[in-house]
Amino acid sequence: MRFTTIAGAVFSGILVLIMTACSKQDMKKIQELMKKELPEPKYIITVNSIVKYPRAKELEKEIDTFTGRKIWVNTNSFIHAKSIEEIKLIPRDKEGNFYDLELKLSNHGKLIWMQLSTAYSYKKLAFVVDGVFYRSFIPKPIKEGDDYALVEGPFDKYTAEQLKKYAKTNFEYFNQR
């Protein structure tokens, strides 16, 4: 109880210091930024490990697939939408009906991906969209000096475009400070 009172006093003091140091115009900008609400996240991507023989009830979960089957995954995702800054679409066919995805990852996301591409170089991971299993894939290493990780499809045109469309707003939503 005492800690929260001290923490509240410190926070209030810092807030007063900031308010007195800023001009009225700066304060209006800060207030506008604080009021800015980001849209609810959609097409949230996670990359999870696939569980063949479920044993850990709290950590493993059965989820639906887009084909109607069920699959078990570890609920602790390796990659989450909060690590995906943007997505580029790479056409897989001449007609443009199917795509591969290039995920621009945050620094933290790149480190995780590097570990995944080594640890899962021969194992498939689950690509999950809004809690539904979309497909499995094997993570390829990120090329040196590149910010993008390749997820081989095929991803249908509509889904790929929606993933691309919402990647940036999802990243901003999950990384609000």
For residue 40, is it within any domain? no
Distance CA 83, CA 173 (A): 11
Both 30 and 60 in one domain: the answer is: no
Both 109 and 159 in one domain: the answer is: yes
User: In which band, very low, low, confident or very high, does the pLDDT at 32 lie, cut at 50, 70 and 90?
Assistant: low
Interval 92-141: pLDDT, tens: 998 889 999 999 999 999 999 999 999 999 999 999 999 999 999 999 99
Yes or no: say if 81 and 46 are a contact pair by the CB < 8 Å rule. yes
Both 49 and 133 in one domain: the answer is: yes
**Total structural domains within the chain:** 2
Domain extent for 103: 45-174
Both 166 and 86 in one domain: the answer is: yes
Both 138 and 90 in one domain: the answer is: yes
Yes or no: say if 105 and 167 are a contact pair by the CB < 8 Å rule. no
For residue 84, is it within any domain? yes
Q: Parallel, antiparallel, or unpaired for β 79-80 and 84-91?
A: unpaired
Alpha helices in the chain (DSSP H): 2-21, 24-35, 107-119, 157-174
